[in-house]
Amino acid sequence: MALVSSLELINKAREQKKAIAAFNIHNLETIQAVVEGAYELNSPVIIQTTPGTLKHAGIESVAAIVKALAGMYDIPIALHMDHCPSFDTIVRCIKNGYTSVMIDGAVLDYDENVKLVKSVVKMAHAVGVQVEGEIGRIGGVEDDMFVNDTDAAFTVPAEAKKFVDDTGIDTLAVAIGTAHGMYKGEPKLDFDRIKEIDSLINIPLVLHGASGVPDESVRKSIALGMAKVNIATELKNPMAVVIREVLSNPDENDPRNYMGAAKKAVKEVVMNKIRLCGTVDFADEF
Ligand SMILES: [Zn+2]
């Protein structure tokens, strides 16, 4: 089918205390792994790109591959732009068929951030595209983005409410103890904070930095209102491990072999995360 609205998927998931898994992809094989994994479980899925991935693969190429695969598989698939600081890049994404975008103005002060987010919301809503925003600061490393421990800041519930009211965003990424990248120790999620934010605002919450968070904590977050769960690092690691393993044979030079093996490993993680988010067979409801 054609690409669908992320918000429609997320809203319906939220009603049923489920979450839509959103996977950061990097190339043809990772897109295939996500789509094929979701299809096998009959689950809706969000495919997302960071600015770094677009630099690597090109907006046009990524969007064309995702649209082609969406046309081949009968499950709802949304295409989302993750952590984008640029209004112009978001316009290009939307022109290429993205169905939702995240505008990230975290480096700006509050008023400038609101101004940027509002301008994206106005433009995107005019063409039926939804917008994710972030308040508080999720720490860690993703792409060129690095937020150290001193700059990382938990989302303050009252600020979250004000930010949602001021900007008109559709979904909100919150900082509640997760971080981008892999964790050294076990991450401690602030569940009371999720509960409080969810009670104050009436839009779905997004869990960033879910890679390496214990399944039980992800489940609990979903039960408390997280309706989109982002997975990036946890796809990268098995891919690298498998490629290293296949290429340890010095005679191996066929990309179809090492990338094929990588795809299989990524697909397995995708399927586990979809099960964790509770959306097996959820595609039937769309
Ligand atoms: Zn993120």
215 is annotated as an active-site residue? no
CA–centroid distance, residue 175 to ligand 1 (Å): 10
pLDDT at 179: 83
CA–centroid distance, residue 112 to ligand 1 (Å): 20
pLDDT at 148: 66
pLDDT in tens, the chain (286 residues): 899 999 999 999 999 999 999 999 999 999 999 999 999 999 999 999 999 999 999 999 999 999 999 999 999 999 999 999 999 999 999 999 999 999 999 889 999 999 999 999 999 999 999 999 999 887 777 766 666 665 668 899 999 999 999 999 999 999 998 888 877 777 889 999 999 999 999 999 999 988 889 999 999 999 999 999 999 999 999 999 999 999 999 999 999 999 999 999 999 999 999 999 999 999 999 9
CA–centroid distance, residue 100 to ligand 1 (Å): 14
CA–centroid distance, residue 82 to ligand 1 (Å): 7
Q: In the chain, where are the structural domains located?
A: 6-285
- Residue of 74, 82, 143, 151 marked active site: 82
Q: Which fold has domain 6-285?
A: TIM Barrel (3.20.20)
- Measured CA to CA, the distance from residue 267 to residue 30 in angstroms comes to 8
pLDDT at 106: 83
Residue of 77, 68, 72 lying closest to 20 (CA atoms) = 77
